[in-house]
């Protein structure tokens, strides 16, 4: 099995080589806790903006700070699932609350977030020349899936 998960240092070297070959680097990030069709459509849209898609994954600690009681799926499993997707070229895990330092280090050409984010609110938008907020599918979220399974009334995040 091809492991597409890298430390930031290792990923930096790979990305620099891809840039030197003239490839356009696209960056996105998120928790990707329980993967669903909304994530898949979002990742395909992100990939369409360039040649290489890098996904920065919130670590378990980072997810826990942002979404108490989560993640459901541990970071290494989430990374492996993301890495198995055709549209994803590289995965890296970050421990901070935002991927700002990861974006600053990798210097991608394009930054993409879901349509629930306004461009001006996207972390790292000040560092990247091209920023997109792509289609968001209402009702399609990990929180909605957890609600359906458990019957709990979780706060939408």
Residues 26 and 43: their CA atoms lie apart, in Å, by 10
Residues 91 and 8: their CA atoms lie apart, in Å, by 9
pTM of the predicted protein model: 0.88
Residues 60 and 113: their CA atoms lie apart, in Å, by 20
Domains and CATH numbers, the chain: 8-150 (3.40.50.620)
Q: Is the pLDDT of residue 146 over 70?
A: no
Per-residue pLDDT reduced to its tens digit, 24-80: 999 999 999 988 888 999 999 999 999 999 999 999 999 999 988 889 999 999 999
């Amino acid at each position: 099995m091809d492991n597409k998960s890298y430390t930031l240092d290792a990923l930096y070297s790979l990305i620099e080589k891809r840039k030197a070959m003239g490839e356009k680097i696209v960056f996105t990030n998120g928790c990707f806790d329980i993967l669903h069709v909304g994530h898949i459509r979002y990742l395909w849209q992100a990939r369409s903006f360039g040649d290489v898609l890098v996904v920065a994954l919130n670590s378990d600690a980072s997810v826990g700070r942002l979404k108490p009681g989560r993640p459901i799926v541990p970071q290494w499993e989430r990374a492996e699932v993301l890495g198995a997707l055709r549209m994803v070229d590289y995965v890296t895990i970050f421990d901070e609350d935002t991927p700002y330092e990861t974006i600053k280090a990798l210097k991608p050409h394009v930054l993409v977030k879901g349509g629930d984010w306004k461009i001006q609110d996207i972390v790292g938008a000040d560092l990247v020349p091209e920023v997109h907020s792509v289609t968001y599918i209402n009702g399609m979220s990990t929180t909605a899936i957890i609600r359906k399974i458990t019957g709990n009334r979780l706060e939408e995040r």
